Protein backbone atom coordinates (compact mmCIF):
# COMPACT_ATOMS: atom_id res chain seq x y z
CA UNK A 1 0.00 0.00 0.00
CA UNK A 2 1.21 3.51 -0.84
CA UNK A 3 2.32 5.38 2.30
CA UNK A 4 0.39 8.54 3.10
CA UNK A 5 2.09 11.87 2.49
CA UNK A 6 1.69 15.46 3.54
CA UNK A 7 -0.17 17.42 0.88
CA UNK A 8 2.44 20.18 0.83
CA UNK A 9 5.72 21.33 2.36
CA UNK A 10 3.99 24.05 4.33
CA UNK A 11 1.56 21.41 5.59
CA UNK A 12 4.43 19.42 7.07
CA UNK A 13 6.06 22.51 8.57
CA UNK A 14 2.81 23.65 10.20
CA UNK A 15 2.06 20.19 11.54
CA UNK A 16 5.59 19.76 12.92
CA UNK A 17 5.52 23.29 14.34
CA UNK A 18 2.11 22.42 15.80
CA UNK A 19 3.71 19.47 17.54
CA UNK A 20 6.59 21.59 18.82
CA UNK A 21 4.53 24.59 19.88
CA UNK A 22 2.57 23.43 22.87
CA UNK A 23 2.00 23.83 26.57
CA UNK A 24 5.78 23.75 26.84
CA UNK A 25 6.02 27.10 25.05
CA UNK A 26 3.13 28.94 26.61
CA UNK A 27 2.77 27.35 30.01
CA UNK A 28 6.24 26.12 30.94
CA UNK A 29 8.67 28.41 29.12
CA UNK A 30 7.58 31.73 30.67
CA UNK A 31 7.62 30.35 34.19
CA UNK A 32 11.00 28.73 33.64
CA UNK A 33 12.36 32.06 32.44
CA UNK A 34 10.78 33.63 35.50
CA UNK A 35 12.33 31.12 37.86
CA UNK A 36 15.75 30.73 36.23
CA UNK A 37 17.09 34.25 35.82
CA UNK A 38 15.27 35.92 32.94
CA UNK A 39 17.44 36.80 29.96
CA UNK A 40 20.34 34.65 31.13
CA UNK A 41 18.19 31.56 30.80
CA UNK A 42 16.97 32.77 27.44
CA UNK A 43 20.52 33.00 26.05
CA UNK A 44 21.48 29.50 27.19
CA UNK A 45 18.20 28.11 25.93
CA UNK A 46 18.51 29.65 22.47
CA UNK A 47 22.09 28.36 22.20
CA UNK A 48 20.88 24.80 22.92
CA UNK A 49 17.94 25.16 20.59
CA UNK A 50 20.16 26.12 17.69
CA UNK A 51 23.19 23.96 18.40
CA UNK A 52 21.62 20.75 19.63
CA UNK A 53 17.90 21.07 18.86
CA UNK A 54 18.25 21.65 15.13
CA UNK A 55 20.76 18.79 14.78
CA UNK A 56 18.67 16.22 16.61
CA UNK A 57 15.56 17.35 14.75
CA UNK A 58 17.30 16.87 11.39
CA UNK A 59 18.38 13.40 12.51
CA UNK A 60 14.86 12.44 13.62
CA UNK A 61 13.15 13.60 10.43
CA UNK A 62 15.81 11.87 8.32
CA UNK A 63 15.40 8.67 10.32
CA UNK A 64 11.66 8.59 9.69
CA UNK A 65 11.89 9.48 6.03
CA UNK A 66 14.54 6.96 5.11
CA UNK A 67 12.75 4.12 6.87
CA UNK A 68 9.21 5.19 5.85
CA UNK A 69 8.07 3.85 9.15
CA UNK A 70 6.96 4.47 12.75
CA UNK A 71 9.81 4.84 15.30
CA UNK A 72 10.06 1.12 16.07
CA UNK A 73 10.34 0.11 12.42
CA UNK A 74 12.56 3.13 11.75
CA UNK A 75 15.24 2.14 14.27
CA UNK A 76 15.00 -1.46 13.12
CA UNK A 77 15.51 -0.60 9.46
CA UNK A 78 18.10 2.11 9.92
CA UNK A 79 20.30 0.42 12.48
CA UNK A 80 19.19 -3.17 12.88
CA UNK A 81 17.75 -5.42 15.58
CA UNK A 82 19.00 -4.25 18.97
CA UNK A 83 18.46 -0.58 18.26
CA UNK A 84 14.75 -1.13 17.73
CA UNK A 85 14.38 -1.18 21.50
CA UNK A 86 14.85 2.60 21.36
CA UNK A 87 12.02 2.81 18.86
CA UNK A 88 9.82 0.93 21.29
CA UNK A 89 10.93 3.26 24.06
CA UNK A 90 9.97 6.26 21.92
CA UNK A 91 6.48 4.86 21.36
CA UNK A 92 6.10 4.12 25.06
CA UNK A 93 7.27 7.65 25.92
CA UNK A 94 4.77 9.19 23.51
CA UNK A 95 2.02 7.13 25.14
CA UNK A 96 3.03 8.10 28.68
CA UNK A 97 3.43 11.79 27.89
CA UNK A 98 0.13 11.91 26.03
CA UNK A 99 -1.66 10.38 29.02
CA UNK A 100 -0.82 13.28 31.34
CA UNK A 101 -0.52 15.97 28.65
CA UNK A 102 -4.17 15.29 27.89
CA UNK A 103 -5.09 15.85 31.54
CA UNK A 104 -3.59 19.35 31.36
CA UNK A 105 -5.17 19.80 27.90
CA UNK A 106 -8.47 18.99 29.59
CA UNK A 107 -7.98 21.90 31.99
CA UNK A 108 -7.78 24.27 29.02
CA UNK A 109 -11.12 22.89 27.77
CA UNK A 110 -12.55 23.38 31.26
CA UNK A 111 -11.40 27.00 31.33
CA UNK A 112 -12.90 27.67 27.90
CA UNK A 113 -16.23 26.19 28.96
CA UNK A 114 -16.24 28.09 32.26
CA UNK A 115 -15.27 31.39 30.63
CA UNK A 116 -17.97 31.11 27.97
CA UNK A 117 -20.65 30.08 30.44
CA UNK A 118 -19.83 33.05 32.68
CA UNK A 119 -18.60 30.80 35.49
CA UNK A 120 -15.72 33.14 36.32
CA UNK A 121 -17.46 36.49 36.38
CA UNK A 122 -16.54 38.67 39.32
CA UNK A 123 -13.79 36.33 40.52
CA UNK A 124 -10.88 37.73 42.51
CA UNK A 125 -7.32 36.37 42.54
CA UNK A 126 -7.95 34.25 45.62
CA UNK A 127 -11.09 32.82 44.07
CA UNK A 128 -9.21 31.82 40.93
CA UNK A 129 -6.69 30.04 43.09
CA UNK A 130 -9.39 28.21 44.97
CA UNK A 131 -11.27 27.20 41.88
CA UNK A 132 -8.13 25.92 40.11
CA UNK A 133 -7.29 23.81 43.15
CA UNK A 134 -10.86 22.55 43.25
CA UNK A 135 -10.88 21.71 39.54
CA UNK A 136 -7.65 19.73 39.40
CA UNK A 137 -8.24 17.88 42.65
CA UNK A 138 -11.84 16.86 42.10
CA UNK A 139 -12.48 13.25 41.18
CA UNK A 140 -14.78 13.42 38.18
CA UNK A 141 -14.70 16.85 36.52
CA UNK A 142 -11.10 16.93 35.24
CA UNK A 143 -11.45 13.36 33.97
CA UNK A 144 -14.48 14.34 31.91
CA UNK A 145 -12.50 17.22 30.36
CA UNK A 146 -9.48 14.97 29.84
CA UNK A 147 -11.81 12.61 27.95
CA UNK A 148 -13.20 15.46 25.86
CA UNK A 149 -9.69 16.62 24.97
CA UNK A 150 -8.64 13.12 23.97
CA UNK A 151 -11.80 12.64 21.94
CA UNK A 152 -11.03 15.78 19.92
CA UNK A 153 -7.53 14.43 19.26
CA UNK A 154 -8.99 11.10 18.11
CA UNK A 155 -11.41 12.86 15.77
CA UNK A 156 -8.51 14.63 14.06
CA UNK A 157 -6.07 11.72 13.86
CA UNK A 158 -8.72 9.31 12.59
CA UNK A 159 -8.91 11.33 9.37
CA UNK A 160 -5.33 10.58 8.53
CA UNK A 161 -2.24 12.62 7.72
CA UNK A 162 -3.23 15.10 5.03
CA UNK A 163 -7.00 14.97 5.65
CA UNK A 164 -6.78 15.15 9.44
CA UNK A 165 -3.53 16.34 11.03
CA UNK A 166 -2.44 18.60 8.17
CA UNK A 167 -5.85 20.16 7.66
CA UNK A 168 -6.29 20.82 11.38
CA UNK A 169 -2.79 22.34 11.63
CA UNK A 170 -3.41 24.61 8.64
CA UNK A 171 -6.43 26.09 10.39
CA UNK A 172 -5.18 26.09 13.96
CA UNK A 173 -1.62 27.35 13.59
CA UNK A 174 -2.60 30.64 11.89
CA UNK A 175 -5.30 31.05 14.54
CA UNK A 176 -2.66 30.52 17.21
CA UNK A 177 -0.48 33.28 15.77
CA UNK A 178 -3.38 35.72 15.49
CA UNK A 179 -4.48 35.14 19.09
CA UNK A 180 -0.93 35.38 20.34
CA UNK A 181 -0.30 38.67 18.50
CA UNK A 182 -3.52 40.13 19.88
CA UNK A 183 -2.67 39.17 23.44
CA UNK A 184 0.93 40.38 23.21
CA UNK A 185 -0.24 43.82 22.08
CA UNK A 186 -2.70 43.97 24.99
CA UNK A 187 -0.05 42.92 27.48
CA UNK A 188 2.68 45.27 26.23
CA UNK A 189 0.36 48.27 26.35
CA UNK A 190 -0.40 47.81 30.04
CA UNK A 191 1.09 50.50 32.28
CA UNK A 192 4.24 49.12 33.89
CA UNK A 193 4.69 46.42 31.25
CA UNK A 194 8.27 47.45 30.51
CA UNK A 195 9.55 46.08 33.81
CA UNK A 196 8.48 42.63 32.60
CA UNK A 197 10.16 43.11 29.23
CA UNK A 198 13.34 44.09 31.00
CA UNK A 199 13.16 41.10 33.29
CA UNK A 200 12.63 38.86 30.28
CA UNK A 201 15.47 40.20 28.18
CA UNK A 202 18.20 41.45 30.51
CA UNK A 203 20.48 38.56 31.53
CA UNK A 204 21.16 38.02 35.22
CA UNK A 205 24.24 35.80 35.01
CA UNK A 206 24.28 35.06 38.70
CA UNK A 207 21.67 32.41 37.87
CA UNK A 208 24.04 30.54 35.59
CA UNK A 209 24.59 27.17 37.24
CA UNK A 210 24.16 23.46 36.57
CA UNK A 211 20.45 23.60 37.42
CA UNK A 212 19.83 26.29 34.88
CA UNK A 213 21.86 24.64 32.12
CA UNK A 214 20.14 21.35 32.65
CA UNK A 215 16.69 22.97 32.75
CA UNK A 216 17.47 24.81 29.51
CA UNK A 217 18.52 21.68 27.64
CA UNK A 218 15.61 19.67 29.03
CA UNK A 219 13.20 22.36 27.91
CA UNK A 220 14.83 22.58 24.46
CA UNK A 221 14.20 18.87 24.00
CA UNK A 222 10.65 18.90 25.26
CA UNK A 223 9.59 21.97 23.37
CA UNK A 224 10.90 20.66 20.05
CA UNK A 225 9.10 17.33 20.61
CA UNK A 226 12.40 15.48 20.38
CA UNK A 227 13.21 12.08 21.80
CA UNK A 228 9.80 10.49 21.57
CA UNK A 229 9.36 9.68 17.95
CA UNK A 230 6.99 12.50 16.99
CA UNK A 231 9.31 13.88 14.34
CA UNK A 232 10.42 10.43 13.23
CA UNK A 233 6.77 9.66 12.58
CA UNK A 234 5.96 13.00 10.92
CA UNK A 235 9.18 12.76 8.90
CA UNK A 236 8.10 9.40 7.53
CA UNK A 237 5.29 11.12 5.61
CA UNK A 238 7.54 13.82 4.15
CA UNK A 239 8.09 13.82 0.38
CA UNK A 240 11.52 12.72 -0.81
CA UNK A 241 12.17 16.01 -2.63
CA UNK A 242 11.87 18.27 0.41
CA UNK A 243 14.92 19.66 2.17
CA UNK A 244 15.11 18.31 5.71
CA UNK A 245 17.54 20.91 7.15
CA UNK A 246 15.41 23.69 5.77
CA UNK A 247 12.21 22.24 7.24
CA UNK A 248 13.92 21.70 10.61
CA UNK A 249 15.09 25.29 10.73
CA UNK A 250 11.58 26.54 10.05
CA UNK A 251 10.13 24.41 12.80
CA UNK A 252 12.74 25.49 15.36
CA UNK A 253 12.32 29.13 14.28
CA UNK A 254 8.55 29.05 14.68
CA UNK A 255 8.83 27.28 18.02
CA UNK A 256 11.26 29.86 19.34
CA UNK A 257 9.10 32.69 18.02
CA UNK A 258 6.08 31.41 19.91
CA UNK A 259 8.05 30.91 23.13
CA UNK A 260 9.44 34.45 22.96
CA UNK A 261 6.02 35.90 22.14
CA UNK A 262 4.56 33.97 25.07
CA UNK A 263 7.24 35.58 27.25
CA UNK A 264 6.17 39.00 25.94
CA UNK A 265 2.58 38.11 26.70
CA UNK A 266 2.98 36.75 30.19
CA UNK A 267 5.87 38.53 31.93
CA UNK A 268 4.79 42.13 31.16
CA UNK A 269 1.29 41.36 32.43
CA UNK A 270 2.68 39.75 35.57
CA UNK A 271 4.91 42.74 36.28
CA UNK A 272 2.23 45.30 35.49
CA UNK A 273 0.12 43.74 38.24
CA UNK A 274 2.92 43.20 40.72
CA UNK A 275 2.56 39.46 40.69
CA UNK A 276 5.26 36.88 41.22
CA UNK A 277 6.88 35.79 37.91
CA UNK A 278 8.28 32.67 39.57
CA UNK A 279 4.85 31.46 40.63
CA UNK A 280 5.40 28.19 38.77
CA UNK A 281 2.71 26.15 37.10
CA UNK A 282 -0.05 28.26 38.63
CA UNK A 283 1.09 31.24 36.56
CA UNK A 284 -1.16 30.44 33.59
CA UNK A 285 -4.15 29.03 35.40
CA UNK A 286 -4.30 31.34 38.42
CA UNK A 287 -2.19 34.49 38.00
CA UNK A 288 -3.18 35.29 34.43
CA UNK A 289 -6.94 34.85 34.86
CA UNK A 290 -6.71 37.10 37.92
CA UNK A 291 -5.00 39.72 35.75
CA UNK A 292 -7.46 39.38 32.87
CA UNK A 293 -10.35 39.82 35.29
CA UNK A 294 -9.09 43.34 36.08
CA UNK A 295 -9.00 44.46 32.45
CA UNK A 296 -11.78 45.90 30.33
CA UNK A 297 -13.21 43.09 28.16
CA UNK A 298 -11.32 40.76 30.49
CA UNK A 299 -13.51 37.75 29.80
CA UNK A 300 -12.93 38.08 26.06
CA UNK A 301 -9.17 38.30 26.60
CA UNK A 302 -9.34 35.31 28.87
CA UNK A 303 -11.26 33.35 26.27
CA UNK A 304 -8.65 34.20 23.62
CA UNK A 305 -5.90 33.06 25.97
CA UNK A 306 -7.41 29.70 26.79
CA UNK A 307 -8.33 29.02 23.17
CA UNK A 308 -4.67 29.77 22.40
CA UNK A 309 -3.57 27.33 25.07
CA UNK A 310 -6.00 24.70 23.83
CA UNK A 311 -4.84 25.03 20.21
CA UNK A 312 -1.22 24.77 21.28
CA UNK A 313 -1.99 21.67 23.33
CA UNK A 314 -4.15 19.80 20.83
CA UNK A 315 -1.74 20.19 17.90
CA UNK A 316 0.96 18.68 20.14
CA UNK A 317 -1.27 15.94 21.46
CA UNK A 318 -2.19 14.73 17.97
CA UNK A 319 1.48 14.26 17.12
CA UNK A 320 1.90 12.03 20.17
CA UNK A 321 -1.26 10.13 19.32
CA UNK A 322 -0.05 9.63 15.75
CA UNK A 323 3.21 8.06 17.01
CA UNK A 324 1.33 5.34 18.84
CA UNK A 325 -1.33 4.94 16.13
CA UNK A 326 1.30 4.53 13.38
CA UNK A 327 3.08 1.94 15.52
CA UNK A 328 -0.09 -0.08 16.13
CA UNK A 329 -1.22 0.14 12.49
CA UNK A 330 2.12 -0.86 11.01
CA UNK A 331 3.38 -3.41 13.48
CA UNK A 332 0.08 -5.19 14.16
CA UNK A 333 -1.64 -4.65 10.83
CA UNK A 334 -4.62 -2.87 12.33
CA UNK A 335 -6.72 -0.38 10.35
CA UNK A 336 -6.23 3.30 11.14
CA UNK A 337 -9.74 3.87 12.43
CA UNK A 338 -9.82 1.11 14.99
CA UNK A 339 -6.20 1.76 15.97
CA UNK A 340 -6.95 5.43 16.66
CA UNK A 341 -10.03 4.68 18.72
CA UNK A 342 -8.31 2.00 20.78
CA UNK A 343 -5.14 3.99 21.38
CA UNK A 344 -7.22 7.02 22.36
CA UNK A 345 -9.27 4.96 24.79
CA UNK A 346 -6.33 3.19 26.43
CA UNK A 347 -4.34 6.43 26.74
CA UNK A 348 -7.36 8.13 28.26
CA UNK A 349 -7.70 5.37 30.86
CA UNK A 350 -4.01 5.51 31.65
CA UNK A 351 -4.34 9.26 32.19
CA UNK A 352 -6.99 8.80 34.88
CA UNK A 353 -4.51 8.02 37.69
CA UNK A 354 -2.52 11.12 36.72
CA UNK A 355 -5.60 13.23 37.19
CA UNK A 356 -6.53 11.53 40.46
CA UNK A 357 -2.97 11.97 41.71
CA UNK A 358 -3.68 15.68 42.01
CA UNK A 359 -6.61 14.98 44.30
CA UNK A 360 -7.79 11.89 46.11
CA UNK A 361 -4.79 9.73 45.18
CA UNK A 362 -2.34 12.43 46.15
CA UNK A 363 -0.98 10.54 49.12
CA UNK A 364 0.33 7.67 47.00
CA UNK A 365 3.87 8.77 46.31
CA UNK A 366 7.14 7.23 45.17
CA UNK A 367 10.44 9.07 45.78
CA UNK A 368 8.29 11.91 47.10
CA UNK A 369 6.37 12.31 43.84
CA UNK A 370 2.78 11.51 43.02
CA UNK A 371 1.90 9.59 39.84
CA UNK A 372 1.50 12.72 37.69
CA UNK A 373 4.83 14.15 38.83
CA UNK A 374 6.57 10.80 38.56
CA UNK A 375 5.54 10.31 34.93
CA UNK A 376 6.74 13.82 34.08
CA UNK A 377 10.01 13.28 35.90
CA UNK A 378 10.81 9.92 34.32
CA UNK A 379 9.91 10.89 30.77
CA UNK A 380 11.57 14.33 30.95
CA UNK A 381 14.78 13.24 32.57
CA UNK A 382 15.33 9.71 31.26
CA UNK A 383 13.14 8.57 28.40
CA UNK A 384 13.36 11.68 26.23
CA UNK A 385 17.12 12.04 26.65
CA UNK A 386 17.66 8.32 25.98
CA UNK A 387 15.64 8.56 22.77
CA UNK A 388 17.63 11.63 21.77
CA UNK A 389 21.00 10.00 22.44
CA UNK A 390 20.00 6.86 20.53
CA UNK A 391 18.94 8.92 17.50
CA UNK A 392 22.20 10.88 17.59
CA UNK A 393 24.35 7.75 17.79
CA UNK A 394 22.50 5.99 14.99
CA UNK A 395 22.72 9.09 12.80
CA UNK A 396 26.31 9.99 13.62
CA UNK A 397 27.96 6.56 13.87
CA UNK A 398 25.88 3.49 13.09
CA UNK A 399 24.23 4.51 9.81
CA UNK A 400 25.95 7.77 9.03
CA UNK A 401 26.07 7.21 5.26
CA UNK A 402 22.37 6.48 5.01
CA UNK A 403 21.62 9.68 6.93
CA UNK A 404 23.87 11.79 4.71
CA UNK A 405 22.08 10.38 1.69
CA UNK A 406 18.72 11.26 3.18
CA UNK A 407 19.66 14.73 4.36
CA UNK A 408 21.21 15.69 1.04
CA UNK A 409 18.40 14.07 -1.00
CA UNK A 410 20.79 11.52 -2.52
CA UNK A 411 23.45 14.17 -2.98
CA UNK A 412 21.18 16.56 -4.87
CA UNK A 413 21.01 19.18 -2.13
CA UNK A 414 24.37 19.65 -0.44
CA UNK A 415 24.07 20.53 3.25
CA UNK A 416 26.56 23.25 4.15
CA UNK A 417 26.82 22.38 7.81
CA UNK A 418 27.20 18.63 7.35
CA UNK A 419 30.48 18.37 9.26
CA UNK A 420 29.19 20.41 12.16
CA UNK A 421 26.03 18.30 12.19
CA UNK A 422 28.06 15.09 12.17
CA UNK A 423 30.13 16.04 15.23
CA UNK A 424 27.12 17.39 17.04
CA UNK A 425 25.42 14.00 16.61
CA UNK A 426 28.54 11.99 17.31
CA UNK A 427 29.90 13.74 20.37
CA UNK A 428 28.51 17.05 21.57
CA UNK A 429 24.79 16.28 21.76
CA UNK A 430 25.17 12.84 23.40
CA UNK A 431 27.51 14.22 26.06
CA UNK A 432 25.26 17.19 26.78
CA UNK A 433 22.19 15.00 26.97
CA UNK A 434 23.80 12.40 29.22
CA UNK A 435 24.93 15.20 31.49
CA UNK A 436 21.31 16.28 31.92
CA UNK A 437 20.35 12.74 32.90
CA UNK A 438 23.16 12.53 35.43
CA UNK A 439 22.30 15.93 36.81
CA UNK A 440 18.68 14.93 37.36
CA UNK A 441 19.77 11.80 39.21
CA UNK A 442 22.85 12.79 41.19
CA UNK A 443 22.66 16.58 41.13
CA UNK A 444 26.17 16.80 39.62
N1 LIG B 1 6.53 20.14 22.27
C2 LIG B 1 5.36 20.11 23.06
C3 LIG B 1 5.33 21.29 23.98
O4 LIG B 1 6.26 22.10 23.98
O5 LIG B 1 4.38 21.43 24.70
C6 LIG B 1 5.21 18.87 23.87
C7 LIG B 1 5.38 17.65 23.08
C8 LIG B 1 4.55 17.36 22.04
C9 LIG B 1 6.43 16.87 23.35
C10 LIG B 1 4.76 16.29 21.26
C11 LIG B 1 6.64 15.79 22.57
C12 LIG B 1 5.82 15.51 21.51
F13 LIG B 1 6.04 14.46 20.77
3-state secondary structure (DSSP) of residue 38: strand
Rounded distance between C-alpha atoms, residue 29 and residue 223, angstroms: 9
CB 187 within 8 A of CB 266: yes
Can you give the pLDDT of all 444 residues of the chain as single tens digits?
Answer: 678 999 999 999 999 999 999 999 998 898 888 788 888 999 999 999 999 999 999 999 999 999 999 999 999 999 998 999 999 999 999 999 999 999 999 999 999 999 999 888 888 888 999 999 999 999 999 999 999 999 999 999 999 999 999 999 999 999 999 999 999 999 999 999 999 999 888 888 999 999 899 889 989 999 999 999 999 999 999 999 999 999 999 999 999 999 999 999 999 999 999 888 877 778 889 988 988 988 999 999 999 999 999 999 999 999 999 999 999 999 999 999 999 999 999 999 999 999 999 999 988 988 889 999 999 989 988 999 999 999 999 999 999 999 999 999 999 999 999 999 999 999 999 999 999 889 888 887
How many whole angstroms from 24 Cα to the centroid of ligand 1? 7
How many whole angstroms from 37 Cα to the centroid of ligand 1? 24
Rounded distance between C-alpha atoms, residue 143 and residue 106, angstroms: 8
Phi-psi group of 414: left, alpha or beta (phi > 0 → left; psi -120 to 50 → alpha; rest → beta): beta
Domain extent listing, the chain: 9-443
Nearest-atom index, ligand 1, CA of 29? 4
User: Which residues surround ligand 1 with Cβ inside 6 Å?
Assistant: 19-20, 22-25, 94, 97, 222-223, 225, 228, 230, 316, 319-320
CB 384 within 8 A of CB 222: yes
How many whole angstroms from 312 Cα to the centroid of ligand 1? 10
pLDDT of residue 345: 98
Long-range contacts of 254-259, Cβ-Cβ distance < 8 Å, separation of 24 or more: 254/13, 254/17, 254/20, 254/21, 255/17, 255/20, 255/21, 255/25, 255/49, 255/223, 255/224, 256/46, 256/49, 258/21, 258/25, 258/26, 258/176, 258/177, 258/180, 258/312, 259/25, 259/29, 259/223
Closest CA to 136 of 99, 107, 102: 107
Q: What residue owns the CA closest to ligand 1's atom 8? A: 316
Enumerate helices (H) and strands (E) in the chain, giving the number of each: 23, 0
To test the pocket of ligand 1, the residue of 173, 255, 320 to mutate (highest count of ligand atoms within 8 Å of its CB) is 320
Q: Which phi and psi angles does 238 have, rounded to 5°? A: -85, 135
Residue 82 per-residue DSSP state: G
CB 321 within 8 A of CB 116: no
Rounded distance between C-alpha atoms, residue 230 and residue 24, angstroms: 15
How many whole angstroms from 221 Cα to the centroid of ligand 1? 9
Rounded distance between C-alpha atoms, residue 344 and residue 99, angstroms: 9
Instruction: Kindly state the helix (H) or strand (E) to which residue 406 belongs, with its residue range.
Output: helix 400-407
To test the pocket of ligand 1, the residue of 27, 220, 316 to mutate (highest count of ligand atoms within 8 Å of its CB) is 316
Select from 1.10.3470, 3.90.550, 3.40.50, 1.10.4160 the CATH code of 9-443: 1.10.4160
Q: Which phi and psi angles does 369 have, rounded to 5°? A: -120, 145
How many whole angstroms from 407 Cα to the centroid of ligand 1? 23
Residue 380 per-residue DSSP state: I
Nearest-atom index, ligand 1, CA of 228? 13
Q: How far separated are the first and last CA of the chain, in Å rounded? A: 50
How many whole angstroms from 149 Cα to the centroid of ligand 1? 16
Nearest-atom index, ligand 1, CA of 224? 1
Nearest-atom index, ligand 1, CA of 94? 13
Radius of gyration of the chain, Cα coordinates, nearest whole angstrom: 21
How many whole angstroms from 315 Cα to the centroid of ligand 1? 9
Those residues with Cβ within 8 angstroms of residue 15's Cβ, 6 or more apart along the chain or in another chain: 6, 165, 166, 169, 234, 315, 319
Amino acid sequence: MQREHWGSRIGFILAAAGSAVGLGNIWKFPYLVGAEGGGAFLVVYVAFLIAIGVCVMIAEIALGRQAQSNPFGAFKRAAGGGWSIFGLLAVLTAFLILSFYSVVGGWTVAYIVKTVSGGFSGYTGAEFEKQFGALVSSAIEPIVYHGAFMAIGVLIVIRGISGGIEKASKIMMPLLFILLALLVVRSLTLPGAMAGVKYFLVPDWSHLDADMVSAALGQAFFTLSLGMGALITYGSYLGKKESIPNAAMWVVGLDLLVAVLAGFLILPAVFAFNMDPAAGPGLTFITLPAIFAELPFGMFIQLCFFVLLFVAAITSAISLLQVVVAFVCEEFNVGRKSATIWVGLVTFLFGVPSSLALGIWGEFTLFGMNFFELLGFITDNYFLPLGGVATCLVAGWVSYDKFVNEITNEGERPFTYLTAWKWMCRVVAPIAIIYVMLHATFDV
